[in-house]
Amino acid sequence: MQAIHYAGSDTAVLPGDVVRLKRMRGEEEGFIAYVPGISPPNKFFGVGVGASVGFGNAQGRYWALSVDESGILSSAVHWFARGEAPPELPADLDEIDISSDFCLPAEQLANQQMGDGRIEISRRAPVDDDFKALQQQGTSFGRAISLALLVFGVLAALIYWLSKSWLAASLIGGGLFASSVVSNWRFRQEQQRRRAMAADPQAVEVIEVAPLRVVDIQPLGSNGPALVFFGNDEQAVLVVGQWTAEFEPFPAAHFRIHRWADTGEPIRIECLGKLIVPESSSVALQPGYRFGYVEWFKASPETLQQDLALAFSGGSHA
């Protein structure tokens, strides 16, 4: 069996490696508990083609991590260092509560109940749920402003302590405070503008997706996850960003993304199906790509890297 490597690296995956697993709702530190072809065979993780790499943590929980056909481990795993030999796997591993965040054995990935391939885009007037989501964004923004004011106060005190000048502290602290006030004013103005669009039948764009496949690709920096949903007729939808973690269960076998038609800014995700687990991929978003939080484009799984470059490297995107 070919050696397995970490995504974006020539480092081979070995039992005992100290790693961090990036999940939909946080990160998990642990170790590589099982590597096909190196570790003693295990019926849960499998052997040979289609087998999974095992991840374990100090609490005795295990995850099955997918490996693509070229031997690249899920990009959700980040290697830190070589470690000691892992503990022996429990005999009843298949009965343990296995997490499904981006991690399933290959045969379970293949047997997931997916959608019918629909990707449909429509427009409508805003409804109450859209304004509720807008109000929740305003509450979060208000908390951020309150925190910023506290930070500004501490910063002004620190500047005075260092410079012994109230003028310097007032100018710097006052400038930062003024900046936060302007940001808050702009946000409130945007809220009022959106509410004035209540009767506009084209204000909100709805992207309905019932994917045939979903792939977890490598995001730019920490701006992840980055998911590509494939539908019929080479249609695909790219969804990027941590904002998706607010909506459960996502990614789902059927969902609708509601966004403002004029800016493409997401409003909310309406999940209509069960949680599905993406396939891992070594395909990556590149620094030269131009894209928003949600993009529709033409693509197929076999040519995804080229399709992303064609859609987003030239500045032409939905």
91 domain-assigned: yes
Q: Which residue has the tokens 């949600």?
A: 294
Residues 155 and 207 in one domain: no
In total, how many domains does the chain have?
A: 3
* DSSP tag of 39: S
Give CA separation, 224 vs 5, 25, 28, in Å. Answer: 21, 11, 16
- 210 domain residue, yes or no: yes
What's the pLDDT score for residue 246?
Answer: 87
162 and 207 both lie in a single domain: no
User: Residues near 107 by Cβ (< 8 Å), separated by ≥ 6?
Assistant: 46, 50
**How confident is the model at residue 295, as a pLDDT?**
97
Q: Are 215 and 155 part of one and the same domain?
A: no
Say if CB 227 and CB 278 are below 8 A apart.
yes
Map residue 232 onto helix, strand or coil: helix
Give the distance from CA 77 to its chain's centroid: 14
pLDDT of the residue at 38: 93
- The confidence score (pLDDT) of residue 93 equals 66
Q: Which residues contact 102 (CB under 8 A, 6 or more apart)?
A: 22, 23, 24, 74, 76, 216, 225, 277, 278, 280
Q: Could you say which residues of the chain have pLDDT below 50?
A: 95-102, 139-141, 315-318
**Three-state secondary structure call for residue 30:** strand
Give me the pLDDT at residue 99, please: 43
Q: Is residue 45 part of a domain?
A: yes
Same domain membership, residue 273 and residue 244: yes
Query: Which residues 6+ apart lie within 8 Å of 159 measured at CB?
Result: 165, 168, 169, 172, 173
Co-location of 242 and 283 in the same domain: yes
Query: pLDDT of 3-45, one tens digit each?
Result: 999 988 899 999 999 999 876 556 789 999 999 999 998 877 8
Q: Mind giving me the DSSP string for 96-153?
A: S----SS---HHHHHTS-----EEEEEEE---HHHHHHHHHHHHHHHHHHHHHHHHHH
- Print the domain residue range for 296: 118-124+202-312
